[in-house]
Amino acid sequence: MNKTNNKGKVYVVGVVIFTVLFIVGILELPYGTIQKVIFKFKVKNYLEQTYNEKMVVNKVTYLWDNIEPIHARVHPKNAEHLEFAVYPLINSANAYYDNYPETLWLHQVREDLELLLEHTDRDIKPEFSIDFACCMERDRVRVSNGEIIAYSEANLKFDLSFQLNHSKPTDDLEQAVHIITRLKQHEALNIEHVSFMLQPEPGDLTSNIEYKVPGRDLHNINSIEELEAYKQK
């Protein structure tokens, strides 16, 4: 008798939970759609006033689409490759945070590096990544009269990492020294650290070797022997 009663209770509780979720879903769907439309309008207005550029909102993602809060993916009308994110600021009505300057700065640095390293090696191009995370203060001046200041004017520091893929470590180190020589020729690059990752045995991550050089020490390196001092233990 008790088992029958327990099953009945579980069934009733399940029906109640399903009904509540169903009602919430019905109410939330139009509410979320309205929220997306309002957010899209406000974001576009905010961006075009901030940057004096025409913007295209690619997508607005609401809570049920993603675990993140409502946010938008946007790009300048004339630069689809510069897609960035816009989020509402917590506890601030009609206030937003976007990473458009960081996106543009990353593109500017990458363009400069690709041009600088264009002829470092005819056969094997160095793969590199750029990381602003170490050196990006939230209160940094990003915009002047609606224009994003260039990364060089912002005195922006960043970490730079190279993955070198020659078959011999000696060849990798020769290329690393050559890359350092080229980096020293570009005064606008305010580098915090440069890392060179070598993988003597392809596919074996345990064989990785890293050389990590502080940006201020780059001018001291002109040979493999001098680079060896920065090998990570």
For 10-29, how does the pLDDT look when each residue is reduced to its tens digit (9 = 90+)?
555 665 665 554 444 444 45
Q: What rounded mean pLDDT belongs to the chain?
A: 80
Between 32 and 65, the higher pLDDT residue: 32
**What is residue 36's predicted lDDT score, i.e. its pLDDT?**
83
Taking only the tens place, the pLDDT of each residue in 152-162 is: 887 788 999 99
Average pLDDT over every residue of 217-221: 93
Average pLDDT over every residue of 24-53: 76
**What is residue 35's predicted lDDT score, i.e. its pLDDT?**
80
Average pLDDT over every residue of 77-81: 94
**What is residue 215's predicted lDDT score, i.e. its pLDDT?**
93
Average pLDDT over every residue of 32-55: 88
Task: Supply the pTM of this predicted model.
Answer: 0.74
Spell out the residues 6+ positions from residue 113 whose beta carbon is closer than 8 angstroms to its own. Answer: 128, 130, 160, 189
Most confident of 43-52, 90-99, 128-137: 43-52
Taking only the tens place, the pLDDT of each residue in 100-121 is: 998 999 999 999 998 888 866 5
- pLDDT-derived band at 183 (thresholds 50, 70, 90) equals very high
